[in-house]
Structure 1
């Protein structure tokens, strides 16, 4: 939300996160309400999500973070042009207004999103693969040209076509009870990969399985517990689980040095020995 020499930045949940990104909000001018994706990087070249996390959830950013991870917004849409509410205009008209506004006010912290032209679905699929493989994009956002701007996550006029998830075989290390209707089941799991002769944590997952699979996993955890740390059970390093995830990034907070974005259970590999789970060398090739 930009109002002259004052700007505020809001997350998708409505939280005001302006204080964490003074380098961004202090550089904005004009009058408009814009929708876009918050990123960090130099010269509009986005760094991976792990670098953005260095700046999220901080009341006051460190000077080194502002220097190393400068924030910018890749702008997708316009809700207000000056004082005028344009959410009920078709997307094609909002885009025309946005391009005109950006030509005057973009500066060094607002980057206009690219529009991709295509002739058929095969061509669009090729663009999606190229974006994922070359730039690490999560996928494409497809919008009807006549669509209005609707709050929330409207289905139909807008569609997010995500790239295929990455997959790795991991070994279950720890389990913890879930919440709500899962409070009586061990449904929150920590998984690891091989680093030499040891298994090191690479991510946690608590979704992706059916109710039947949850019961099977809960039974396995109870029967294969080797240690307890409060609510957490350490289990035998025998069960292989295939994890699906969106991307992998370097992370000093994890013993493996790698963090997975949006990990979830893809398959339970009852048939596979733990010795055949993936290694840290394999997963490092997926970083980016």
Structure 2
């Protein structure tokens, strides 16, 4: 456990991607099985402990420390695991046992009855130092927040055997911790793990943002374009499996872009995946033939149970971009134009109303594509134009390659909207930002009986530079007028306050927000020290940006 704690500590303070990969690779190379397999599972988000929740951790520290002192400390530190790790009282007599191995923690929690879990965790905390306690709590709560993505961790694993990360991605899904056959293959001690899954996940191909200078070097004749729909990227896979007794059964799965199996949340789509193969597409909600805003799709996301009412009110749909496999044939090595022709014929044969084809956008030159991106409704998207968030530009000869290869696919999102809003509330961030007020709630003016009032319209926690973060943090600390737990209310009058230019991707009606509006992907664009709060935008400005019919 101490080695894992040291790894987390070093990763938390290492900003460089390649250095993080080197740290993880070194840990995996020098840590025995099964500890390293469970560490890899933790880094990739493949571990979960049903009975170890933050509320339980709070209860443990409440029984051992003054609750007021804990509340003040938590407010200052900003991270539950770090606060508890620092405040946990050292027992008068240290336990006469060595720190637990990572595998011991994982396997013990999996086999321990729910009522006994708090005692187990408390016993481990008693025997660990501050770093060990921090690592244990981060592990069991599942909130590492150390800047390591699942892709980065698998890249570090591939480095052990001099492999490409994509090779590990191909065999990853379907394997379970502690991944001993996977390590044996990577290190040359065993065969490549074979997946017998008839509907496996295939790592997606990703794009780079298109820069203006790219148009100076790219020939439009070499590329094809399609709409970038405002949903979530998914992969629909289907196949047939033969059981031991010879019975053939159909398997259908829906995966997120990161490989999470989200099939249970979309039973209405599983029936539509009646094919053998794999589609890359966008998950949307269609009502009366029209694509709905992302806020409508959110009603279907992250649901553990799906009611008949929800299925009827928010019918799910897949708009297909690409065909990755047809039957037993892997099509990813084919150029995009060949896969597109196969996709068009494939979708036509399906005759499935829940799956349709994302149309291509014809463009002889970049000027034409620029106009289409600005006005999708008049360039082929029709009534669904408001659901387009930009265009995808794909090299006609490009194979389907996992990851983000350079020069093959580009995304060119529509220009964001922007409004000037007033900072109203602030809260500390997590991890490296736990000492700064970096999560902001902002509002715009609305007429009320007693005069104009500010109403919250969104929250943002990125988009600013490190220097701007320090400026905002100083302002929050100097101009706090109220506290609500970890949240600080900041002065916001007509003459005194901080105006922030907020950029966002879209806007929809909302019953959960006081303003009645919900922003899509808001972020801080710049600080308007030159502007009085009274001159910030009004609610009418935002309402004018709502899509037609909203």
Q: Could you tell me the TM-score, scaled by structure 1's length?
A: 0.96
Whole-angstrom distance in 2 between the partners of 1:18 and 1:89:
28
Alignment partners' CA distance in 2, 1:28 and 1:108: 11
- Alignment deviations for residues 178-230 of structure 1 (CA, whole Å, 9 cap, x no partner): 12221111111111111212211111111111111111111000000001112
Query: Is residue 347 of structure 2 the alignment partner of residue 102 of structure 1?
Result: yes
Going from structure 1 to structure 2, the CA distance change for 1:200 and 1:62 (only over 3 Å counts) comes to farther
Matches of 1:106 and 1:258, distance apart in 2: 38
Is 1:286 the equivalent of 2:545?
yes
> Quick one: which of 442, 452, 470 aligns to 1:191?
442
Q: Which residue of 1 aligns with 2:489?
A: 234
Structure 2 Cα separation of the partners of residues 23 and 40 of structure 1: 12
Task: Identify which range, 161-170 or 54-63, moves more after superposition.
Answer: 54-63
Larger Rg: 2
Distance verdict in 2 for CA 1:265–1:140, change over 3 Å: same
Q: Which has the higher strand share?
A: 1
Distance apart, 1:57 and its partner CA: 0.7
1:8-27 equivalences under 5 Å are 8-27=253-272
Aligned pair count?
A: 288
**Change beyond 3 A, Cα 1:190–1:15:** same
Distance 1:43 1:173 in 2: 40
Q: Which moved more, 1:254-263 or 1:146-155?
A: 146-155
Q: Deviations over 1:85-127 (max 9, x none)?
A: 1111111111111111111114111110101111111111001
Which residue does 1:255 correspond to in 2? 514
Shift of 1:6: 3.4
Q: Looking at both structures, which has the greater relative contact order when contacts are Cα pairs under 8 Å and sequence separation is at least 6?
A: 1
Out of 199, 207, 212, the residue aligned to residue 462 of structure 2 is 207
Residues 44 and 14 (structure 1 numbering): CA distance in 2 closer, same or farther, change over 3 Å?
A: farther
Segments of 4+ moved more than 3 angstroms: none
Q: Assess if the C-alpha contact under 8 Å between 1:132 and 1:163 holds in 2.
A: no
* Aligned-partner SS, 1:19: helix
Matching of residues 123-272 of structure 1 within 5 Å? 123-131=368-376, 135-136=385-386, 137-196=388-447, 197-237=452-492, 238-272=497-531
Secondary structure in 2 aligned to 1:9?
A: strand
- 2:272, 2:355 within 8 Å by CA — same for their partners in 1? no
Which residue is 2:305 aligned to? Answer: 60
Kindly provide the CA deviation profile for residues 150-188 of structure 1, in whole angstroms up to 9, marking residues without a partner as x. Answer: 223333200001111100111101111112221111111
- Bigger share in helix: 2
Q: Which runs of 5+ in 2 are unaligned?
A: 1-236, 241-249
SS in 2 for 1:202: strand
Uncovered stretches (5+) of structure 1, i.e. residues with no partner? none
Q: Is the 8 A contact 1:44 1:111 kept in 2?
A: no
> Partner residue of 1:2?
238
Q: Aligned to 2:525, what secondary structure does the other structure show?
A: strand
What do you get for the CA RMSD once the two structures are aligned? Answer: 1.5
Closer, same or farther: CA 132–172 of 1 in aligned 2, 3 Å = farther
Mean alpha-carbon deviation: is it higher for 24-33 or for 139-148? 24-33
Contact 1:132–1:139 (Cα < 8 Å) also in 2: no
